[in-house]
Amino acid sequence: MWEQVAEAFERNFTEHGELGAAFAAYHRGELVVDLWGGTADPETGRPWDRDTIQLMFSGTKGLTAACILLLVQRGLIALDDPLSRYWPEFGAKGKQLTTVAQVLSHQARLPWVEAGYADLLDHEAMAAHLAAQAPATDARAGFVYHPITWGWLLDELMRRVDGRTVAQFFADEFAKPLELEVWIGLPEELHWRVAAMVAPPGVLVDGPWTELNRPNPLWIPGAEKIWNSPEYRSAGLSAVGGYATARGMAKFYASLLDAAGVLSPETVELGRREIRRGVDPTWGSPMRYGAGFELQAGDGRMGDEPDAFGHAGAGGSRHGAWPGRETTFCYLMNEVRVGPDARPVNLLEALSRGSRATGR
């Protein structure tokens, strides 16, 4: 029943021009799909193999959401508390009532950094900029995707409450005990395993998606030089700096469906509970968020299962779970695409058929 997933994976190469990719899925706690193929680095010809690691951009947000939810589970924070309760400086310029839940669900009105991104890899500097910044007054900014600032806000919350960075917290509380090949910020000794991100000509251009996220240094012409730099790989950006094998991310989401996992079923349910839905004013696409997780919004991003949750990554990657099907998945690739993308759609459709064939 899972063979059709392998067939869809192969068609992505033969019919949809896939460069390099991996796809993995767990069903009822068991690894049932583990695929990889193509080219990891077109400059050297290095193939994508079983141990290839890849950047997953905003797929990282699912990891960070789980870390924040673990703080909630331990009674260290509450979602409805103002962020300024834990980070007093954040309350400047009218932000004193912005809650943790609003930050997690992209309602903080801080989708960009007014001071610019010269200090992109300096967390302390970026957190200080955001604390001192006034919330955006544009009416559309009340619910707009925060691609990078989301991470600095929540990483600072973690540092104020726990003392560790999100990257270290994830490593200690999730990756090590669960034996996950997943990192927020990749150790230098593993850089050689990373597939090179590739942006075909014309993909990274100024467009409507930059309007409310200006200036987003990760999505403009030439950005691939940042993505593939050693400094970026090691930085540990908790919104867009996660690395994994497909097996590792599928296993992470499988742990969220495990009643004996790090997060209790009640905490996972809290994370999946809808906080806000609407239409993103930059993309014009539906958005539906829980406490950091993307929820099924009807656009096929997470497949067609109504209870889907997880987080997509820029360029095409997908990471998530279908609780009702007891199925989790991860798709990683190295050629960035914008707009409708048949690659993840084909894989998730095939996976859905396979999971339904099991009777669950």
Task: Name the percent of the chain lying above pLDDT 90.
Answer: 80
331 CB burial (10 A radius; 0-12, 13-18, 19+): buried
CA pair distance 242, 126, nearest whole angstrom = 18
Classify residue 158: in a domain, yes or no: no
Question: What pLDDT band is residue 72 in, cutting at 50, 70 and 90?
Answer: very high
Classify residue 281: in a domain, yes or no: yes
Identity of the residue numbered 358 = T
Classify residue 126: in a domain, yes or no: no
Lowest-pLDDT range of 10-14, 53-57, 143-147, 289-293: 143-147
Mean pLDDT, residues 264-268 taken together: 98
Per-residue model confidence (pLDDT) at position 211 = 54
Classify residue 103: in a domain, yes or no: no
Residue 285 lies in domain: 3-74+164-357
Classify residue 107: in a domain, yes or no: no
Per-residue model confidence (pLDDT) at position 120 = 85
Per-residue model confidence (pLDDT) at position 258 = 97
Q: How many domains does the chain have?
A: 1
Nearest CA to 68 among 263, 260, 222? 263
Question: What pLDDT band is residue 209 in, cutting at 50, 70 and 90?
Answer: very low
Average pLDDT of every residue of the chain: 93
Mean pLDDT, residues 63-85 taken together: 99
Lowest-pLDDT range of 127-136, 217-226, 300-309: 217-226
Place of tokens 């801080």: 110
Q: Assess whether pLDDT exceeds 50 at residue 330.
A: yes
Per-residue model confidence (pLDDT) at position 303 = 92
Identity of the residue numbered 27 = H
Lowest-pLDDT range of 11-15, 117-121, 252-256, 277-281: 117-121
Nearest CA to 325 among 351, 295, 350? 351
CATH number, domain at 235?
3.40.710.10
Whether the Cβ atoms of residue 332 and residue 56 lie closer than 8 Å to each other: yes
- Sheet containing strand 294-295, edge to edge, reads 46-47, 30-41, 20-27, 327-333, 318-322, 309-310, 294-295, 286-289, 276-279
CA pair distance 326, 259, nearest whole angstrom = 12
Lowest-pLDDT range of 94-98, 126-130, 134-138, 162-166: 134-138
Question: What pLDDT band is residue 216 in, cutting at 50, 70 and 90?
Answer: low
Entry field: residues in the chain: 360
Q: Assess whether pLDDT exceeds 90 at residue 36.
A: yes
Per-residue model confidence (pLDDT) at position 201 = 66
Segments in the chain forming alpha helices (H) = 3-16, 60-73, 100-104, 123-132, 149-161, 166-170, 176-178, 224-227, 230-235, 246-256, 265-272, 342-357
Mean pLDDT, residues 80-93 taken together: 98
Per-residue model confidence (pLDDT) at position 252 = 99
DSSP for 224-250, written as a single string: HHHHTSHHHHHH--TTT-EEE-HHHHH
Lowest-pLDDT range of 15-24, 196-205, 246-255, 288-297: 196-205
Classify residue 53: in a domain, yes or no: yes
Per-residue model confidence (pLDDT) at position 298 = 87
Tell me the pTM: 0.95
Classify residue 92: in a domain, yes or no: no
